[in-house]
Structure 1
Amino acid sequence: MSVRWRAAMERALYGDDGFFRRPGGGPAAHFRTSAHASPLFAGAIAALLERLDEALGSPGRLDLVDVGAGRGELLRGVLAALPPAVAARVAAVGVEVAPRPDDLPGPIGWTTAIPSGITGLLVATEWLDNIPVDIVELDSSLRPRYVLGSPPFALDASPLDPRDAAWLADWWPLDGLPEGARAELGAPRDEAWAAAVGSVARGLALAVDYGHLAGGRPLFGTLTGFKDGKETAPLPDGSCDLTIAVALDSLGVHHLLLTQREALRLLGVDGRRPPLALASTDPAGYVRALSRAGAAAELTDASGLGGHYWVMRWV
């Protein structure tokens, strides 16, 4: 039976035996996000939440919702980095299909659906790239055909649905490209992000992810897999993470778009080395500052995590 890529990806990631439901170390055992790379990332999110709290007038309840929360690593880090007076008002919730981690602190909530009426911050770190979408590929007649997940990577001879054809024409036209060129149809991802933004009553929705813009679409798409810390063949069998970079400009208007390098520097995370003179006056302080600079450099490296984008929508 032929199954389009989106349905195969949905089953492989979120099905009963899907990648994100499997027991063990969770996503951190297979790939490294900014939340796993350094506590400085959680510290930056905490600094952003403090600024947001001030802008909202210090509400009695300040929501912090992490979509695609993994095993709660980011939530734990943010709460630890906040001043106690702010942390006491924070209602932290992880949104994840996996069961609640046994060691998660009691005050942190856990749910499979994004709550509504959020006053505060919704953050989604490398969630959008895991939203299942269909893929199309130009066949030998240069017509776009759906890529199948079963059988893997065969092409469906049927024409595109009108809705998909319209999204393709608006955001990722394949005119003039060679056989084998691909596009990843982001409409389901656009809708998922719009629903996430819609859950915020007052505050900020933030997505941190890697992606591309019109004029820089990759010729053969971005689908890949990750397993045990390494890139691997993207087989939709539940054994690996399946990830597709985000067509950022299709997410909607009225967004602020920054690179992670830009955003983190605005929040005080800077990878520049401390002055060498500090080594003479305060050797221990110099070593600490050097370690912090190294961690910050990884988060702000333009060719790595620093090249990710922060997509922000103020509500």
Structure 2
Amino acid sequence: MTTVRSAAELLAAEIRDQGPIPFSRFMETALYHPEHGYYRSPRDPFGTAGDFYTASQLQPVFGRLIAAVMHQRRAELGDPERFIIVEWGAGRGELAEHLTAFHHYALDVGRGSAPPRFEGVVFSNELFDALPVDVVRIQDGVASLMLVGRQDGGFVWTPGPPVPEEWHAYIERVRAIFPPGEELWIELPVRLRDTLAAMAAPLERGFIITIDYGYTEPELIRFPRGTLMSYRRHRAVEDVLRDPGEQDITAHVPFTHLEACAASLGLVSSPLITLTRFLMEAGEPDQFASALAAADEHEALRLRLQLKSLLFGMGETFRCIAFRK
């Protein structure tokens, strides 16, 4: 038996045996395969030595702000005796030390479990952008799924079957945003609703709060070629089919569709806001004054830089949306 040593070898064998595969299958294997997936690698993808930063790496500032948000949400629910936080896509678990005042469960994609029923908050940071998507190309007015095949030893896009009927309305809404006749590449968020439903299912009463980057439908006009992107060593890589398992793959979150999915699940959406506004509303404006005053010069500078990155860097790029149940 041949030993498979990488996600690339695994995908190449699958395509050889079955023919071209949907991009969602490619992305799922590349990111989440138990042995060879990017997020399952012993190499840490986060931080300076990895491929990208997230807000969760800006500790302790981000953790303190999120803890303040959780205290606010608990108060809004009437201070239930057992207030639980379930964090989806917990990564390295940086938030845990800041949430010790709560019952906190840290889940990763495909790993861990939440209590069967609870009151509290389901929280995620950069979860939805890493969910597998399918890809559609609209050319000469015809929409086709784009599959992943093999050619000359590499992975390539290849036209596939017509788009499933369940996605026709979604594609027509997107198509209407662009000038007639323009070639378009569109991501289909095929895992989004099921993921949101799984997050909401055990929540008896409370909130789902998610932080991510994405677009509303009118903003999609900026992305006629779609939003798929890979990241490696802090550099953007346009070829998302290159080196599966060795680089991150992301797609912007379609917030308008996310809100529609939430409504279909009986959730009530709050307005979509910037991460800056979300964090500025998390407690008192001077809540870090005492920490800055007590810190030495080096630590105080580090805290100020973290605040600056969160409020004026990531804070304007990332958005936050909450759903109440």
TM-score by length of 2: 0.78
1:167-223 alpha-carbon deviations (Å, 9 max, x no partner): 222456476455542111124213312331333212111110000011110211110
SS at match of 1:123: strand
**Structure 1 vs Structure 2 CA RMSD:** 2.9
Q: Distance in 1 between matches of 2:175 and 2:269?
A: 20
Structure 1: runs of 5+ lacking an equivalent: 80-86, 99-110, 275-281
Judging changes above 3 Å, is the alpha-carbon distance between structure 1 residues 113 and 54 closer, same or farther for their aligned structure 2 residues? same
Q: Residue type of the partner of 2:200?
A: V
Q: How many residues are treated as equivalent by the alignment?
A: 285
**Is 1:222 paired with 2:211?**
no
1:48-59 aligned at under 5 Å gives the runs 48-59=69-80
Report whether the alignment pairs 1:122 with 2:122: yes
Q: In structure 1, what is the Cα distance between the partners aligned to 2:254 and 2:309?
A: 24
Q: How does 1:74-113 map to 2 (within 5 A)?
A: 74-79=95-100, 87=101, 90-97=102-109, 111-113=111-113
Mean CA deviation greater in 10-19 or 262-271:
262-271
State whether structure 2 residue 24 is matched by structure 1 residue 13.
no
Superposition map of 1:183-198 within 5 A = 183-198=186-201
Is the 1:148–1:154 contact (alpha carbons within 8 Å) kept by the matching residues of 2?
Answer: yes
Other-structure match for 1:251:
258
Per-residue CA shift, 1:267-306, capped at 9, x if unaligned? 14869xx9xxxxxxx89788866653332121112x5343
Q: 2:25, 2:132 within 8 Å by CA — same for their partners in 1? A: yes
Amino acid at match of 1:5: F
In structure 2, distance between residues paired with 1:283 and 1:19: 40
Residues 170, 75 of structure 1: alpha-carbon distance in 2 compared, 3 angstrom cutoff: farther
Which one of 281, 305, 311 corresponds to residue 294 of structure 1? 305
Q: Contact 1:9–1:149 (CA<8 Å) still a contact in 2?
A: no
Decide whether the 8 Å contact of 1:69 with 1:94 is kept in 2: yes
Q: Letter of the aligned partner of 1:184 in structure 2?
A: E
Q: Map of 1:1-315 to 2, 5 A cutoff?
A: 1-16=19-34, 17-28=36-47, 29-79=50-100, 87=101, 90-97=102-109, 111-139=111-139, 141-151=140-150, 152-170=155-173, 173=176, 176-217=179-220, 218-232=223-237, 233-235=239-241, 237-252=244-259, 253=263, 254-256=268-270, 257-268=272-283, 291-301=302-312, 304-315=314-325
The DSSP-based 3-state class of the residue aligned with 1:45 is: helix
Residue 106 of structure 1 corresponds to: none
Alpha-carbon deviations, 1:210-247, whole Å to 9, x = none?
00011110211110111233222322611111100000
Gaps of 5+ in 2: 1-18
Aligned CA distance change for structure 1 residues 9 and 283 (closer, same or farther; 3 Å): closer
Cα drift, residue 94 of structure 1: 1.1
Q: Is the 8 A contact 1:167 1:187 kept in 2?
A: no
Cα separation, 1, equivalents of 2:114 and 2:157: 35
- TM-score, length basis structure 1: 0.80
**CA distance in 1: counterparts of 2:73 and 2:178, whole angstroms:** 44
Q: Cα offset for 1:26?
A: 4.5
CA contact (8 A) 2:65 2:282 kept: yes
State the shift of 1:156 in Å. 2.1
Structure 1 residues 269, 185: closer, same or farther in 2, change over 3 A? farther
SS at match of 1:145: strand
Paired residue type of 1:221: G
Write the letter of the residue equivalent to 1:293: R
Residue identity matched to 2:252: A
Query: Matches of 2:173 and 2:299 in 1, distance apart?
Result: 50
Task: Measure the CA separation in 2 of the matches of 1:39 and 1:283.
Answer: 14
Distance 1:5 1:173 in 2: 24
Distance 2:132 2:122 in 1: 21
Report the residue type matching 2:141 in the other structure: L
* TM-aligned CA distance change 1:240 to 1:263, over 3 Å: same
Structure 2 distance, partners of 1:197, 1:295, is 31
Residue matched to 1:83:
none
Q: 1:156 to 1:9 in 2, by over 3 A?
A: same
Distance 1:241 1:247, change over 3 A: same
1:50-90 Cα offsets, whole Å, 9 max, x none, are 112222333332211110111211223333xxxxxxx1xx2
Distance 1:211 1:234 in 2: 18
Shift of residue 133, structure 1, vs aligned partner:
1.1
